[in-house]
Amino acid sequence: MRASANSPRLPTARVLAAAVLLAAGLQPPLALAEEETVIATPLLRFRAAEIGAPVQGLVWRGGLELQSAADTFGGLSGLDFTDGQGRLVMVTDRGNFVSGQLIYDDAVRPLSLVGVRIEPIRNSRGAELPRAFARDAEAVAVVERDGVPVAVRVGFENLTRVADFELVDGVPTGPAREVGIPAWLTDTRTNKSLESVCIAPPASPIAGSTLLLTEGVIDDDGLHSAWLLGRNDRGALSYASSVGSDPTDCAFLPNGDLLVLERGIAFLTFNMKLKRVPAAEVKPGAHMVGEVLLEAAGPEVDNLEAVAVHAAPDGTTRITLVSDNNFNDWQRSLLLEFSLPE
């Protein structure tokens, strides 16, 4: 029977299925999650460089400005890729996972972000995080087992902690599994505590170890405190940032070298630096000092907080940066992509 304009709207099968699962105390599967539309505006130039041209120590590969009508899209603070097809996971400072797929055009330039799903990050009981103090996710790194992505490791500030979440079809799901971290880091409950989490690749001397890097926990030498979680490589180390900027994320290159993204504010505009630390210098007891690969300021950048390394469809190693708009209308969610010179 066709419903009239005055008839009550019947729930869809999707809604009914979700309601049944929730009534039983279960979470709906990912297949029931709605996809969000993200409008991607191509960015073709960076610091006057055309796509494919060098910019300091990198090569500009193109970018996107991302916008969505969904009020949960934004605050992008961490990024990693879950496969070789451009599928990615981001975390937000309001306690959500944002997953999707980065699509490239025929010239292997970033073209769009599709299949976007926004799901709440959950606690160890499987419930949504209860308050803002617990939701401030700042970093995410993919955990692999025998070369296969099986989970993501998320770092939080304010209620400082690290937790793993299972990956199902490239999307994080399920309850949090707490990862043990040092007491000094757990006890630092500010919005400048744990900012960066990255996992060393097989070629690294500390393969499989997780690097935790803080934004505002400063040691006696005036450096940013850091910690390595590993079986054989475990202990304190530190990082020297540039004057006026702080580390906001990290990622390892395939050869084990470490990339650290720094962000600063000067004259009411954001600035950024991307530094490279040799693999041999990432170890317990080290005072890491990186070499600048890229720096920029002004309208071409924003509040850059995330960096990830992945292989593009053409096989090139890409370095992808993402900005956190803090859910402000006057800031932007940017995705900027670079590669190393051949």
Which of 42, 40, 98, 59 is CA-nearest to residue 274?
59
- 342 pLDDT band (50/70/90 cuts)? confident
Q: Which of 137, 139, 163, 142 is nearest to 152 (CA)?
A: 142
Torsion 166-100-229-175 (CA) sign = negative
SS3 state at 90: strand
Average pLDDT of the residues in 241-260: 98
Which residue(s) pair with 88 in the sheet?
81, 100
What does the pLDDT read at residue 33?
63
Whether the per-residue pLDDT at 318 is higher than 50: the answer is yes
Q: Grade residue 46 by pLDDT with cuts at 50, 70 and 90.
A: very high
Query: Which pTM value belongs to this model?
Result: 0.90
What domains, with CATH codes, occur in the chain? Answer: 13-339 (2.120.10)
pLDDT surpasses 70 at 76: yes
Residue 264 to residue 283: CA distance in whole angstroms: 26
**Mean pLDDT value across residues 147-168:** 97
Give the tokens for residue 61. Answer: 């590969």
Instruction: Specify the 3-state DSSP secondary structure of 132.
Output: helix
C-alpha torsion angle, residues 328, 77, 188, 180 (rounded to 10) = 150
Measured in degrees and rounded to the nearest 5, phi and psi for residue 299 equal: -70, -15
Q: How far apart are CA 137 and CA 131, in angstroms?
A: 12
What are the angstrom distances between the C-alpha of 209 and each of 59, 160, 202? 29, 19, 10
- 249's enclosing H/E stretch is strand 245-252
Q: Which residues contact 136 (CB under 8 A, 6 or more apart)?
A: 93, 95, 156, 157, 158, 159, 191
For residue 185, what are the CA distances in angstroms to 74, 218, 249? 27, 12, 17
Residue 17 above 60 pLDDT? no
Hey, how many other C-beta atoms are within 10 angstroms of the C-beta on 220? 7
Average pLDDT, stretch 97-121? 98
Bigger pLDDT: 180 vs 30: 180
Contact 254, 317 (CB under 8 A): yes
76: Cα separation from own chain's centroid: 7
Instruction: Please give the helix or strand (H or E) that residue 134 lies within, else none.
Output: helix 132-135
Calculate the CA 230 to chain-centre distance: 21
Q: For residues 72 and 327, what is the distance between their CA atoms, to the nearest angstrom?
A: 9
Residue 5 has pLDDT above 60, yes or no: no
